[in-house]
């Protein structure tokens, strides 16, 4: 909903989804013909595929068969519209297994490692007497882009990887030093000035770039993207080990070293420990997952993974919604729905936050309400102005707006068919109001928790089982930095105690930290390094248009996938089944 627009942005989606008017209070059940209705298109496709699967099995073992499962289509099988797009999709196609774009979104996060070059350069110069110049750095990067995907660099008669199978693996460098950036080969440069050319309102162009360059300073960093297929065959913890091996061998080749000399161990230490920046942390044993898995990724890193601020710097809500879309898939659908819960998961708990423009409407309206209390000045309620009285006024106004939409438009409640989903979206709208008014992430938690309490008082419940407990206890830990109670909001994640079961909520948390920092005209949320790394437009998944990419994936129009096996499968690319060398 564009700012100051009184038209609800969800009305088009509701009108396109349902035969009834958005405000209608009557509907029908058991009259849609089951999966014969338009929304059952994928179900019918699944049945046809299952028949082929069973026919191909020597034992005839059954496959997908809705006759023995839960009958589908007793109610209207709704399509869904992706937020801030006009793309309508079938609900089955929002499961990550059925959506190539969603898979690539996570692939492009899991396989990234940031590595500093300064320590290695210091070792080369001080210990080995090697000269390091922009030319030698460029040469090193050329060798690395051969080695990183799996090319041989220090030994002949080596097995290598097929380039088109690892075509998404490459490395670039970035720095806050404009003179150095100008001196290196631009083929290897992730140019901060170019990727963050847009400025915040009132600051002119280049404001984001200036912030990032100041934070990064004169240091040289490289972002290394391992092949997608490596992430699928192994785990996230493999990534920094892959870097350690390939970077170490590249150093030996590029700087003409002896493979056995002691300095090579130092390069491995730098690459695996001293100079490496990973996407996420190792999880505790009880939920053990390695580094670069979704479980240990802080909310702030998720927020830094989207390019929306670089493209739309003066729209904190769009930034928030794009961060929410990533987190909904990575945290809610993938981590909670599959890693933790197991099985097919709970897609529609998560998809509610990035479809049908309902949450979008709540968040833009929240920003409008927040700005009204901030006298029209974004992120201005700070210091002495920030107190619980003003927060309560903002929170109550936005919470009333959100809950009223569920009551005034039954189709909105039907689209969000679950109390916990509605609780999440109302609280996220409230958090958006606080984010725009204050430009601070931590007070959005106060907004979230008071929204939950107000929602509970008004409706009598928030959701099923543990939701009431977890959402009502948010208030006591909103400002706690004790390790077992809380951390700065940007550093929390799915392993923070009270968030460890909140299905459908993690996405909204990730959005609030993104919106608050964008409202405050911050160029990044938690890590300037990851912010720059994810600005890379050579990544297959376009992180500036997350919901659009999801929609293309759902409609089977997303084609920028990596790591596919077609190149080595019989019958593809002119190869006959059973072909031999």
Residue 21 in domain: no
d(CA 364, CA 92): 28
Residue 460 in domain: yes
Which one has a higher pLDDT value, 295 or 502?
A: 295
Among candidate residues 280, 312, 338, the one where a domain is terminated = 280
Residue 564 in domain: no
Mean pLDDT of all residues in 302-327:
97
For residue 483, name the pLDDT band (cuts at 50, 70, 90).
Answer: low
In DSSP notation, 37-68 reads: SGGGHHHHHHHHHHHHHHHHSTT------TTT
Mean pLDDT of all residues in 95-112:
97
> Is 379 in contact with 520 (CB distance < 8 Å)?
yes
Do 383 and 314 lie in a common domain? yes
Whether residue 212 has pLDDT greater than 60: yes
d(CA 306, CA 320): 9
d(CA 269, CA 243): 11
Instruction: Give the per-residue pLDDT at 465.
Output: 58
For residue 307, name the pLDDT band (cuts at 50, 70, 90).
Answer: very high
* SS3 at position 455: helix
Do 130 and 153 lie in a common domain? yes
Whether residue 468 has pLDDT greater than 70: no
Do 144 and 259 lie in a common domain? yes
Residue 573 in domain: no
Do 371 and 403 lie in a common domain? yes
Do 235 and 216 lie in a common domain? yes
Supply the angle between the helices 442-459 and 388-408 in degrees, to the nearest 10: 50
Whether residue 4 has pLDDT greater than 50: no
Residue 260 in domain: yes
Residue 225 in domain: yes
Do 268 and 306 lie in a common domain? no
> Is 374 in contact with 391 (CB distance < 8 Å)?
no
Spell out the SS3 assignment of 163-218: HHHHCCCEEEEEECCHHHHHHCCHHHECCHHHHCCCCCCCCCCCHHHHHHHHHHCC
Residue 142 burial (10 A CB sphere; 0-12, 13-18, 19+)? middle
- Give the catalytic positions in this structure: 155, 349, 466, 502
Mean pLDDT of all residues in 411-434:
92
Whether residue 234 has pLDDT greater than 60: yes
Do 101 and 119 lie in a common domain? no
Whether residue 466 has pLDDT greater than 90: no
Q: Write down the mean pLDDT value for the chain.
A: 91
Do 390 and 369 lie in a common domain? yes
Through-space distance between the first and last CA atoms of the chain, rounded to whole angstroms? 59
List the structure tokens of 428.
């996220």
d(CA 208, CA 310): 8
> Is 228 in contact with 110 (CB distance < 8 Å)?
no
Residue 563 in domain: no
Do 133 and 229 lie in a common domain? yes
List the structure tokens of 111.
């396989």
In sequence order, what are the residues at sequence separation of 6 or more whose Cβ sits closer than 8 angstroms to the Cβ of residue 347?
Answer: 91, 94, 95, 96, 333, 337
Instruction: Give the per-residue pLDDT at 464.
Output: 66
List the structure tokens of 242.
């892959």
The alpha carbon dihedral of 270, 119, 127, 239 has a sign of positive
Among candidate residues 235, 259, 280, the one where a domain is terminated = 280
In sequence order, what are the residues at sequence separation of 6 or more whose Cβ sits closer than 8 angstroms to the Cβ of residue 523?
Answer: 196, 207, 208, 209, 211, 212, 215, 309, 531
d(CA 277, CA 300): 14
Mean pLDDT of all residues in 205-221:
96
Buried b (16+ CB within 10 A) or exposed e, 248-278: bbbbbbbbebeeeeebbebbbbbbbeebbbb
CATH number at residue 324: 1.20.840.10
User: Which residue, 326, 319, 310, 292, is CA-closest to 190?
Assistant: 310
Residue 579 in domain: no
Instruction: Give the per-residue pLDDT at 443.
Output: 93
List the structure tokens of 233.
């065959």
* SS3 at position 289: coil
Angle at 244 between CA 535 and CA 266, to 5 degrees: 120
Q: How many domains does one find in the chain? A: 2
Residue 221 burial (10 A CB sphere; 0-12, 13-18, 19+)? buried
Do 274 and 327 lie in a common domain? no
Whether residue 528 has pLDDT greater than 80: yes
Do 264 and 350 lie in a common domain? no
Whether residue 261 has pLDDT greater than 80: no
Do 271 and 311 lie in a common domain? no
In sequence order, what are the residues at sequence separation of 6 or more whose Cβ sits closer than 8 angstroms to the Cβ of residue 571?
Answer: 577
> What is the domain range of residue 263?
112-280
Among candidate residues 280, 304, 337, the one where a domain is terminated = 280
């Amino acid at each position: 909903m564009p700012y100051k627009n009184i038209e609800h942005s969800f009305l088009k989606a509701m009108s396109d989804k349902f035969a009834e008017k958005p405000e209608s209070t009557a509907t029908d059940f058991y009259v849609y013909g089951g999966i014969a209705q338009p929304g059952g298109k994928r179900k019918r496709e699944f049945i046809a595929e299952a028949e082929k699967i069973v026919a191909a099995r020597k034992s005839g073992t059954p496959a997908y068969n809705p006759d023995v499962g839960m009958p589908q289509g007793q109610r209207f099988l709704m399509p869904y519209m992706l937020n801030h797009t006009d793309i309508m999709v079938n609900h089955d196609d929002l499961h990550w297994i059925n959506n190539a774009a969603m898979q690539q979104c996570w692939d492009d996060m899991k396989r990234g490692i940031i590595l500093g070059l300064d320590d290695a350069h210091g070792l080369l110069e001080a210990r080995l007497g090697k000269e390091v110049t922009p030319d030698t750095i460029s040469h090193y990067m050329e060798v690395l882009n051969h080695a990183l995907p799996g090319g041989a660099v220090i030994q002949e008669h080596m097995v290598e990887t097929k380039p088109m199978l690892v075509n998404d693996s490459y490395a670039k460098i970035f720095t806050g030093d404009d003179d150095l950036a100008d001196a290196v080969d631009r083929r290897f440069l992730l140019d901060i000035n170019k990727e963050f050319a847009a400025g915040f309102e009132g600051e002119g162009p280049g404001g984001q770039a200036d912030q990032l360059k100041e934070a990064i300073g004169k240091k040289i960093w490289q972002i290394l993207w391992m092949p997608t297929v490596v992430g699928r065959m192994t785990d996230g913890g493999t990534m920094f080990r892959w870097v350690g091996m390939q970077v170490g061998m590249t150093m030996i080749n590029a700087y003409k070293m002896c493979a056995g000399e002691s300095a090579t161990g130092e390069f491995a230490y730098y690459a695996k420990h001293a100079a490496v920046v990973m996407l996420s942390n190792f999880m505790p044993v009880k939920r053990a997952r390695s580094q670069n898995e979704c479980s240990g990724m802080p909310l702030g890193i998720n927020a830094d993974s989207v390019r929306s601020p670089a493209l739309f710097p003066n729209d904190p809500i769009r930034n928030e919604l794009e961060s929410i879309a990533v987190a909904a898939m990575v945290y809610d659908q993938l981590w909670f729905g599959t890693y933790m819960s197991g099985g097919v998961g709970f897609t529609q708990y998560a998809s509610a936050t990035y479809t049908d423009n309902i949450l979008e409407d709540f968040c833009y309206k929240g920003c409008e309400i927040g700005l009204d209390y901030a006298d029209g000045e974004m992120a201005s309620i700070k210091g002495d102005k920030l107190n619980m009285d003003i927060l309560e006024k903002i929170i109550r106004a936005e919470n009333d707006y959100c809950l009223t939409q569920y009551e005034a438009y039954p189709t909105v409640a039907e689209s969000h068919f679950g109390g916990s989903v509605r609780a999440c979206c109302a609280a996220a709208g409230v958090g958006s109001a606080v984010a725009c008014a204050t430009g601070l992430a931590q007070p959005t938690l106060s907004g979230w928790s008071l929204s939950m309490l107000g929602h509970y008082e008004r409706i009598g419940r928030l959701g099923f089982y543990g939701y009431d407990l977890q959402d009502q206890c948010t208030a006591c830990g909103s400002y706690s930095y004790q390790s077992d109670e809380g951390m700065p909001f940007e550093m929390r994640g799915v392993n923070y105690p009270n968030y460890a079961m909140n299905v459908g909520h993690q996405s909204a948390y990730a959005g609030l930290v993104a919106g608050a920092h964008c409202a405050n005209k911050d160029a990044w949320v938690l890590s300037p390094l990851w912010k720059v790394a994810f600005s890379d437009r050579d990544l297959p998944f376009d992180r500036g248009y997350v919901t659009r990419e999801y929609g293309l994936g759902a409609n089977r129009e997303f084609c920028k996938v990596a790591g596919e096996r077609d190149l080595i499968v019989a019958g593809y690319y002119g190869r006959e089944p059973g072909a031999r060398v």
